[in-house]
């Protein structure tokens, strides 16, 4: 792998815990499985005790949250409740369908193997994987998964080749078309109203999710060493491109209000990059268009959260 450019190594060979970027995958799996049938339903949002382990959120978001609030505020506790109902077998099957348990599919020799929990996933493992802890993948794994979330629900292997329409592999269905359509709305709402607001690029209808994960170290997680990730797609009314922005141990500065999280560091990268690459890729800004979220607006919480 010595002849592979370092930038490609980072995308295809190094694995990371990518934190809350996994939450939309968990929600999509629950939608598909029928565990979520009413977006108005609320789950407990107070600290969740599982054996000797406690799952909690960065801030206090009240006693309960619905699905929109869960994603907008990036709640670990409610995502854990959703995964608990979904079950480890179903969540693991979804992750396997997204090829999270294999080396990434791309024409490069440097392809990192994920840190993948083998065997049956017990209750606590299921809950933590649901919000992106206890599993580590490459950024290319995440990009392929987000493409599946927004493209109608089909996973396809990544490639460096420019393919003609007749050459595009059929892929495999992971999510229903209805679930994918709903996820496009939810990802757009995260950028419009939630932790992803600093990723919004006017006219490009960006959708996506923040993820701030503590890096593992000797004896546990290193609380002051983060991997800050933003997984984005655009334009959400007709998705064409996925963009992943990841920072390894960002340092807070005055420009980021001395915050190190994805909302303050990786999200603004998307905001700056998309307007520069969009026109080069044939996507022009259009502030008269957007994905229709009118059916979800009554469920939008007051206020916002920064992850």
Predicted local distance difference test score (pLDDT) of residue 108: 82
Strand partners, 136: 115
b/e 6-33 (16+ beta carbons within 10 angstroms → b): eeebbbbbebbbbbbbbbbbbbbbbbbb
Element (H, E) at 226: strand 220-234
- Structural domain spans, the chain: 6-157+169-297
Predicted local distance difference test score (pLDDT) of residue 88: 97
Residues 6+ apart with CB under 8 A from 118: none
Report the 10 Å Cβ neighbour count for 177: 12
Contact 306, 57 (CB under 8 A): no
- The second-level CATH assignment, the architecture, of 6-157+169-297 is 3-Layer(aba) Sandwich (3.40)
Write out the catalytic residue numbers. Answer: 20
> Of 86-95, 164-173, 221-230, where does the model show the most confidence?
86-95
Predicted local distance difference test score (pLDDT) of residue 222: 65
State whether residue 164 is helix, strand or coil. Answer: coil
Residues 6+ apart with CB under 8 A from 114: 15, 100, 101, 102, 103, 135, 136, 137, 138, 141
> Of 56-60, 114-118, 140-144, 161-165, where does the model show the most confidence?
140-144
Select from 279, 302, 262 the least CA-distant residue to 20.
262
Sign of CA dihedral 279, 282, 288, 291: negative
Residues 276-302: tens digit of each pLDDT: 999 999 999 999 999 999 999 999 876
**With bands split at pLDDT 50, 70 and 90, how would you rate the model's confidence at 8?**
low
In the predicted structure, residue 1 carries a pLDDT above the cut 70: no
Residues 216-264: tens digit of each pLDDT: 665 666 666 788 999 999 999 999 999 999 998 888 777 777 788 899 9
Task: Give the whole-number percent of the chain exceeding pLDDT 70.
Answer: 92
Residues 100-147: tens digit of each pLDDT: 999 988 888 888 888 999 999 999 999 999 999 989 999 999 999 999
Mean pLDDT of the chain: 91
- Output phi, psi for 30, to 5 deg: -70, -35
Predicted local distance difference test score (pLDDT) of residue 6: 57
Beta strand pairing call for 207-217 and 64-65: unpaired
In the predicted structure, residue 176 carries a pLDDT above the cut 80: yes
Residues 62-90: tens digit of each pLDDT: 999 999 999 999 999 999 999 999 999 99
- Token pair listed for 152: 């109608």
Predicted local distance difference test score (pLDDT) of residue 213: 83
d(CA 297, CA 250): 34
**With bands split at pLDDT 50, 70 and 90, how would you rate the model's confidence at 31?**
very high
Sign of CA dihedral 137, 238, 171, 38: positive
């Amino acid at each position: 792998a010595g002849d592979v450019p370092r930038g490609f190594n980072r995308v295809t060979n190094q694995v990371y815990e990518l934190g809350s970027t996994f939450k939309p995958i968990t929600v999509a799996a629950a939608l598909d499985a029928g565990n979520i049938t009413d977006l108005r339903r609320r789950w407990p949002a107070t600290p969740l005790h599982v054996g000797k382990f406690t799952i909690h959120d960065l801030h206090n978001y009240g006693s309960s949250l619905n699905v929109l609030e869960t994603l907008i505020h990036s709640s670990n506790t409610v995502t854990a409740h959703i995964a608990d109902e979904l079950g480890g077998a179903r969540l693991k099957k979804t992750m396997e369908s997204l090829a999270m348990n294999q080396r990434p599919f791309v024409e490069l020799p440097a392809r990192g193997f994920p840190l993948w929990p083998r065997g049956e996933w017990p209750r606590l493992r299921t809950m933590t994987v649901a919000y992106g802890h206890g599993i580590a993948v490459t950024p290319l794994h995440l990009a392929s998964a987000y493409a599946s979330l927004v493209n109608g629900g089909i996973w396809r292997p990544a490639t460096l080749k420019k393919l003609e329409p007749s050459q595009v592999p059929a892929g495999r269905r992971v999510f229903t078309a209805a679930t994918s359509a709903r996820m496009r709305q939810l990802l757009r709402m995260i950028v419009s109203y939630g932790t992803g607001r600093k990723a919004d690029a006017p006219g490009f209808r960006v959708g996506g999710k923040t993820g701030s994960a503590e890096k593992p170290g000797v004896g546990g997680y290193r609380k002051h060493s983060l991997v800050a990730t933003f997984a984005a797609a655009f334009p959400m009314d007709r998705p064409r491109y996925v963009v992943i922005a990841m920072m390894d141990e960002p340092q807070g500065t005055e420009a980021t209000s001395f915050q190190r999280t994805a909302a303050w560091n990786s999200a603004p990268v998307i905001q700056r990059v998309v307007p520069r690459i969009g026109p080069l890729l044939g996507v022009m800004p259009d502030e008269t268009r957007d994905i229709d979220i009118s059916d979800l607006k009554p469920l939008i919480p007051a206020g916002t959260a920064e992850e």
